[in-house]
Amino acid sequence: MARYSEKQKAALDALMKDDVYRHAMEIIKTDGLGGLTMEGIAAAVGVSRGTLYNYFADKDAVIDYVEERTFDPVLGAIQEISKSDLEPDLKLTRIANWIFTAVYEDSALIIALSPVKHEMKRHPCKIERRNKAMRSIEEIVRDGIDSGAFKRLSPVVVTEIYVGSIFGMIESMSLNGEFYRADAVVPTLMELLLGGLRNPRH
């Protein structure tokens, strides 16, 4: 049996996980999360089910890995926009635009952006990813309040309403099977939110 160096093994492991991610996403796109099985993933990747279990304990572990890889660019975009020099209202608008554009271009992103029920326990890593995104958005809201651009409302509640509105719209589109472009959703969403959030004296 061939022996691999640590570097070679790491490269092979990465390739294997890339294949699992790619094929799992294809299955989700065509058959939904309900169609995702360890047998199906193994067959699509071209390995035995036993080999797949060497990398992932079960279907939930695959889903968590897919969610992590899918959510990473979303979290990165939120954090980058949060740290930008844009005005707070434009930051919130930019984040919403980025998310809805990404979902429109790849509807499989809903597994990371909406509360899809897939019989999986709330994993700590999933909660931490969400919390990081929430903290970045809450920071934008607090900056808006401190600068006088936003009314003095609870930053936590405003953040929950903002995120909840986005997630709710994504889940609704998913259930309806029709995804709208960002320019068909974001202006109305932000008018409803910012229309009550902006300080008219500012």
Asked if the model's pLDDT at residue 61 lies above 50, the reply is yes
- For residues 137 and 92, give the distance between their C-alpha atoms in angstroms, rounded to a whole number: 8
- Helix-helix angle 6-31:59-82, to 10 degrees: 90
CB 8 within 8 A of CB 87: no
**Average pLDDT, integer, range 89-107:** 92
Structural domains present in the chain: 1-56 (1.10.10.60), 68-197 (1.10.357.10)
- For residues 24 and 144, give the distance between their C-alpha atoms in angstroms, rounded to a whole number: 40
Residue 7: phi and psi, rounded to 5, are: -65, -40
DSSP string, 125-170: HHHHHHHHHHHHHHHHHHHHHHHTSB-S--HHHHHHHHHHHHHHHH
pLDDT of residue 173: 86
Task: Tell me the per-residue pLDDT of 30-57, one tens digit each, with 9 for 90 and over.
Answer: 887 788 899 999 999 999 999 999 999 9
Asked if the model's pLDDT at residue 76 lies above 60, the reply is yes
Residue 198 three-state SS: strand
Task: Tell me the per-residue pLDDT of 181-201, one tens digit each, with 9 for 90 and over.
Answer: 999 999 999 999 988 766 666
Across 74-78, 92-96, 158-162, 173-177, least confident range: 173-177
CB 36 within 8 A of CB 29: no
For the full predicted model, state whether its pTM sits above 0.85: no
CB 64 within 8 A of CB 123: yes
Task: Tell me the per-residue pLDDT of 112-168, one tens digit each, with 9 for 90 and over.
Answer: 555 544 444 556 677 788 899 999 999 999 999 999 999 999 999 999 999 999 988
